Structure 1
Amino acid sequence: MNQPRYTIHGINGPVVKVTGDRGLAMMDMVHVGEEGLIGEVVSVDRDAATVQVYEDTAGLKPGQPVVSQGAPMAITLGPGLLTNIFDGIARPLKVVQDLSGPFIRRGLNLPSLDESRQWEVTLHVKVGDRVSPGTLYASCPETPLIVHRCLVPAGLSGSVTAVAQPGPHTVTEPLVELTDDHGRTHTLKLAQRWPIRTARPMAERLPIDRPLVTGQRIIDTLFPIGKGGAAAIPGPFGAGKTMTQHQLAKWSDADIIVYLGCGERGNEMTQALEEFSELLDPKSQQPLMNRTILIANTSNMPVAAREASVYTGMTIAEYYRDMGYHVALMADSTSRWAEALREISGRLEEMPAEEGFPAYLASRLAEFYERAGYVRTLEGKEGSVTVIGAVSPQGGDFSEPVTQNTKRYVRTFWGLDRALAYARHFPSINWLTSYSEYADDLRPWYDEHVGPEFVPARHQLSHLLLKESELMEIVKLIGADVLPEDQKLIIETAKLIRVGFLQQNAYHAIDTYVPLDKQLKMMQLILKLYAGAKDIVSRAIPLSQLKATGIFESLAKMKYEVPNDQQEKFAAYDQAIDAALRQVNEANR
C-alpha cells in the first residue's frame, strides 16, 4: 500500500502547511522534513493540511517530505515509566542526554521504554482461558513499591491460544496470544500503545467519598480535596505554587505521583528530581522516586510540545489508575499550557477570544480536568486520578480567563496570597478566598476515620478566622485598644490559629507532615483555650492577664515539639492550659 505523499508548502513557527495526496486524517502523527521531526495534523482541507510540529522548525524549507504514521499521537505504556523523567512527548530524557548531550537533538525519535531491559514476568492466564477487557494476564515488579499489572485492553476479548513461559521478558516480546470471536489473532505484550488525547475507559465512575490526605493542615482541615477530585492552585509569581505542589507530591497518600512541569523553569524540575531521589516515602521508607514519574516540558522547550505534555501526563496517570492504583497528577502550570494554545491558535490565524486566548480554551480545560475521577476499573478494582493544577495569572489577577475557566471545572480552590508569601507564611493559601466543595461529601469519612469532633472543630476555626477578618476592618479605622475584651480574644485566638496551625514549615522534620489525628488534637487544644478564655473575659477579667501566662505562645510552638508518633505529649499542653486558666481565676477571686 502506497503511503500518501505530502510536502511542506509553508512554515510559520511550529505550524507547517503541507500539500499533496489526499489521505491525512485529523490528529494523525507525522514525521516532518529530512530529520523526521514529530508533528500532529491539526486541520485538513482537501489536498492541504496543517501540522503542529513538536520540535524546533528552524531549517525546514518548502518541498521537504512529510510522512504520515497512519495513527493518532500515541505513547507506549508499560513497565519502566516509574523513576523516569520524560519530555512532553514521552521521550526519556536520560537516554536523550546519553545520545545528544544536554540539548535534545532534533528528530530524535526514541521509544518511551527501554526495549532491551528484561522484567521478571508472572503469567496469570493459561491456554484455553476466556479473557475480556480488564483481565489480568501478566505482572512484574516495576519498583520495590509498585507491581505492574498488564490487563487485556478495552475492546478485545477471546480465548487464549498460547502463553509464554514465566521469567525474564522485554516489553516487546509476545506473552499471550488470543483469538477473538471473529477468528483474528492478537498478541499481548508487556507494553501497549494509547493515543494521548483519548481518555482510557473505565467500568464505572464512583462518587468521591474519601480525602486525599496530604499532611498539610490548611488543606486537610479547611480545604480538603477528594481522592479522584480536581483542585487549582492559582497565585502570582513567588507565592509558592511549586513549593505547595512539591509538598503534595512528597506527602499525599497517593500510590503514584505524576509530576508534570509544563512551561515552568528547568531548575524547578531539577529540584524535584534531586529531592525526590533523596527523600524516603513515609509509608515504605523507599526512595520517593520509586513511585514517581516526571514529565518535563520546561519554558525553553518547544511550545507546541508543551500543549501535548498535559495529555501525556494524564494518559500515564490513567494507565496506572486502571491497575487499581490511586494517582496524583501535579500540573505546573496550566497557564503555560494555555499560553501554548494561544500561540498555536495565533499561528493558525484563528479568531481570538478574551485576552487573545482561543475560543475553545474552556473546552480544552474541561477535557483535561474531567479525566480526573474515582472509578471502578475494567478489572473490577477501585482506582483514581486526582488532578492538582497550578495557575499562574499575571500579577495575581484571578479574573483572567485561565483562572476563571479553571474554577468552572474544579471543586477545590487554593488561592495563594502574595502578602502571606512575602510574610513567610507558607503554605500561602488565603483562608478567605479559598474553598472546597468536597468538605460536606467527605464528612462521613472524617467522622469514621478521625472522629466526630473533627468537622465541628474545623467549622469553629473557620468561623473564628472569618470573625477576625471582619474585626480587622474596624481595627484599621480605630485601633485594637478600643475593642471589647471578647473581640480582642477573637483576634488573639485567630492569630494563634494562623501562626500555630495554618502556618507550616516544609523544612522542619516534625512539621513538614502532620497526620489527621494530630491535626484534630491541635484544633481541640486551641479551641479549649478559646473556650476557657471566653469564660474568663465574660466575668470582666482582662484578657491581658491570660496572655501574661505565656499560654498563647506555648501553644503556637506545639507543632514543632510533638512528634507525630508521640501524641501523648499533648497531655502536657492540656495541663498547661488548665494551669493558666486556674492561675488567672485564682488571681481574681
Structure 2
Amino acid sequence: MNNTIYSINGPVIKVKDTKDFSMLEMVYVGHKKLVGEVIGVTDKFTTIQVYEVTTGLKPGEPVYSTGAPLSATLGPGILTNIYDGIERPLLKIADKCGAFIDEGIDVSPIDTEKKYDVTMQVKVGDTLKGGQIYATCPETPVILHKCLLAPNLSGEVVKVMPDGQYAVNDTVAVIRTEGGEKKELTLCQKWPIRTPRPVQKRLPIARPLITGQRIIDTLFPIAKGGTAAIPGGFGTGKTMTQHQLAKWCDADIIVYIGCGERGNEMTQVLEEFSELVDPKTGRAMTDRTVLIANTSNMPVAAREASIYTGITLAEYYRDMGYHVAIMADSTSRWAEALREISGRLEEMPAEEGFPAYLPSRLAEFYERAGYMIPLSGGEGSVSIIGAVSPQGSDFSEPVTQNTKRFVRTFWALDKSLAYARHYPAINWITSYSEYIDDLAAYYKENVSPDFLQCRQRLSNILGEEAKLMEIVKLIGSDVLPEDQKLVIEISKVIRVGFLQQNAFHEDDTYVPLPKQLGMMKIILYLYDQAMRLVKNSIPVSLMAETGVFDALVKMKYNIPNNQLEKMEEYYPMIDDKLSQIK
C-alpha cells in the first residue's frame, strides 16, 4: 500500500488511513526523503514531525517506513565532529553542498573510509555479554575508543579478525547468539536516542565535578553525575560560564549542545573550541569534544531532537568508563520548540502556552545523568549543565521553575552583577547546591577537614551582609555598629577577591581546591583578627587605612597556582598591618 502525505502544517504532516507505521518510528517523507519521526497514531491519521525544512512539500508525495526508531550512529569518529540536531556532520555537508543544508541529504554521521588501528580484546570461544568491550582503537590522541557490544546482544565469539587497520563498517568479529544466529560485529552500532542506555548499577554521588571556578567549587558545587541549571537573562553570561566549565572541569569528554542559539554565537563557540588548547593534555580541546549545533534558523523539530542526540552520545562514552559533561545551551529554546510543535498539533496548552508534558520531558532529560557502573565494568558518569533563558530574567516562568524541580544545583545569574562586570555573575544569595552533604566526605579526605567549615563561615558572612545592605539602603552605613561595618568590609573582600574571577588571567582562570581553601582561610583569619580589634573599640575605618583589605582582594593574582606556599606570607602581613593601628 502506498502511503502518501494528506496534510502539511509546518514541520507536522499527516498520513491518512494507514496501519503501516508504529509510534516513534523513523520515516522518510516526500520525494526528497526528508527525515521524520512518527509522533501520533490513530485509526484515521498518522502524525509525523519532520526534522528538515518542509518548503515545497506537497500532498500526495510518498512516505516511506524504515521499521526502526530515530537512532544515533555510535562509533569512532564522533569526537572532534560538529553535528546538527539529528547527527548529520555539518563539515561534511558543507563540503558537499555549501553553507546551506540541502533537503534530504544523506551523509554518514561518522567517516566510513578512515581506518583505525584496532586491537581486539576477545578470542574465539569467549562469551560476550551486552555492553562488554570486544575491541579498542585510538579515536583521538587523548581518547581510546572502546567498541562495546550492543546492550541487547550476547553470545559466543566464533570468529576474530587479527589486530590491524579497519574502517568503522568492517567486520572485526562474529558472535553466535543463544538462538544460533550469527552476528557480525563492526566498530559501530546504532541506538534509539529517546531510550536511555542500560547500566549495571547507579552509584551514590560522592565526588565533585571540579571546575576551578571558586564560587562553584566552594559555595555551590556540582557532583560528577549531577545536574545543574544556569538560568539568566540576556547578556548575563550563560554561554561564557559554560565555556569556562567546558574548558576547565575535570570531565574526560565534553558534549556541547547549542540548542536554538543565535547562529553568530554558535559560530563563536565552534571557532573558540577549535582554537582552545586543552589544559590537561596541551593538545586541541576538540580532541575530547563533540559539538551539536542546532541554531535558531534551523528546523524547529530538529532542535527538539538535538538534546536527545547529545545525551545518547554522552551515555555511549560513559559506557566506556569515561566521565562526560554535557553543556545544554539552552533548554529554554528546546522548550520553545516543544511549544511550537504542540501548537501545530492543536494540543491543549498549559502554562504560558507550553505543553502539559513539559515537566515530564525535562525530567526525562535530567534523569539520564548519573554516576554509574556501566555494563562494561569500571565507573562512568554523565553530568548535565543546562542553561535556561527566562524572558526578561523572570525566574518564575515555567521552564525555570520546572527545571528547578529536577536539578540539584542552581546557579542563578544576576543581571546587575553582569552589568557591573562581576563574572561569573552567579548570585550567591539566590543560588544553591544540594550536593554539599553528599560531597562532605570527599572534601574531608582529599582537601581538608576544614574546607566545609570555612565554606559555611563564608556563606554566613555573605548572608549577613545581604541583610545589612537592606538597612544601609535606608539609612546609610554610618549608623551601623563597628562589628557590622566589619561584616560589610569583609564581604567586599569575599565578593571581589574570592567570588569574582578573571578568565583572562593565567592564575585566576582556573584555581585548584587547595588554593581556594588557602584563600578562604586567609580571609577568615583577617576577619577574626579584625573582630578582636573591634571588640577593643578600634574602628574599622582605621583598619581600612592600613590597606590590609585591598591587599587580600589582590591575593588571587599574587599567588601563582604552582607556588601555594606564598600564602603563608599573608598571615604575618595581616598581623603586621593591624599592629600598626594606634
Per the shorter chain, which TM-score range? over 0.9
In 1: Cα distance, 2:123 partner to 2:44 partner: 50
Match of 1:522 in 2: 519
1:453 counterpart letter in structure 2: D
Q: Percent identity?
A: 64
Give the aligned partner of residue 105 of structure 2: 108
The residue number in structure 1 matching 2:85 is 88
Per mean C-alpha deviation after superposition, the further-off stretch among 273-282 and 462-471 is 273-282
2-side partners of 1:180 and 1:423: how far apart? Answer: 64
Q: Larger deviation: 157-166 or 480-489? A: 157-166
After superposition, where does 1:190-339 map in structure 2 within 5 Å?
190-339=187-336
1:64 corresponding residue in structure 2: 61
After superposition, the C-alpha distances for 1:353-403 in whole angstroms (9 at most, x for unaligned) are: 000000000000000000000000111110000000000000011111101
- Give SS of 1:364's match: helix
Secondary structure in 2 aligned to 1:330? strand
Q: Secondary structure at the match of 2:15?
A: strand
Contact 2:17 2:43 in 1 (8 A): no
Contact kept? 2:330, 2:386, Cα under 8 Å:
yes
For residues 560 and 114 of structure 2, the distance between their equivalents in structure 1, rounded to whole angstroms, comes to 43
Query: How big is the shift at 1:47?
Result: 4.9
Task: Give the conservation status (yes or no) of the 8 Å contact 2:171–2:185.
Answer: yes
- What is the CA deviation profile of residues 17-65 of structure 1, one whole-angstrom value per residue up to 9, with x for unaligned ones? 1125421001111111111111001111125211100011010010001
Question: In structure 1, the residue corresponding to 2:339 is in which secondary structure?
Answer: helix
Question: By how many angstroms is 1:279 displaced?
Answer: 2.0
In structure 2, the residue matched to 1:439 is 436
Q: Distance in 1 between matches of 2:327 and 2:90?
A: 19
**Aligned residue number for residue 426 of structure 1:** 423
Gaps of 5+ in 1: none
The letter of the residue matching 2:26 is M
1:422-463 Cα deviation digits (max 9, x unpaired): 000010000110000001110100011110111000000000
The question of whether the paired residues in 2 share the 8 Å contact of 1:7 and 1:20 is answered with no
Distance (Å, rounded) in 2 between the aligned partners of 1:571 and 1:451: 16
- 2:503 corresponds to 1:506: yes
Q: Distance in 2 between matches of 1:49 and 1:135?
A: 38
Equivalent in the alignment of 2:373: 376
Alignment match of 2:406 (pick from 406, 409, 413): 409
The equivalent position to 1:352 in structure 2, one of 346, 349, 354, is 349
Aligned residues: 582
Whole-angstrom CA distance in 2 between matches of 1:284 and 1:229: 25
Distance apart, 1:542 and its partner CA: 1.0
Q: What is the TM-score with the length of structure 1 in the denominator? A: 0.98
Q: Give 2:553's aligned amino acid.
A: A
Question: In the alignment, does 2:166 pair up with 1:144?
Answer: no
Aligned match of 1:475: 472
Task: Give the aligned residue type for 2:105.
Answer: L
How far, CA to CA, are the matches of 2:279 and 2:562 in structure 1? 12
| C-alpha RMSD of matched pairs (Å) | 0.9
TM-score by length of 2: 0.99
Structure 1 residue 135 and structure 2 residue 105: aligned?
no
- Map 1:43-58 → 2, pairs under 5 A: 43-58=40-55
Aligned-partner SS, 2:336? helix
Query: Deviations 1:549-576 (Å, cap 9, x if unpaired)?
Result: 1011111011112111111221222221
Q: Aligned partners of 2:37 and 2:517: how far apart in 1?
A: 51
Partner secondary structure for residue 408 of structure 1: helix
Q: Distance in 2 between matches of 1:5 and 1:384?
A: 46
Is the 1:206–1:376 Cα contact (8 Å) retained in structure 2? yes
The Cα of 1:468 is off from its aligned counterpart by 0.2
Equivalents in 1 of 2:300, 2:504: separation in Å? 34
Whether the 8 Å CA contact 2:225–2:369 is kept in 1: the answer is yes
Residue from 394, 403, 410 that aligns with 1:397: 394
| Structure 2: 5+ residue stretches without partners | none
Q: Quote the Cα distance in structure 2 between the aligned partners of 1:135 and 1:435.
A: 39
Q: Which residue of 2 aligns with 1:367?
A: 364
For residues 2 and 566 of structure 2, the distance between their equivalents in structure 1, rounded to whole angstroms, comes to: 75
| Superposed displacement of residue 272, structure 1 | 2.0
Q: Which residue of 1 aligns with 2:6?
A: 9
Distance 1:332 1:171 in 2: 31
1:534 aligns with 2:539: no
The whole-number CA distance in structure 1 between the counterparts of 2:92 and 2:471 is 62
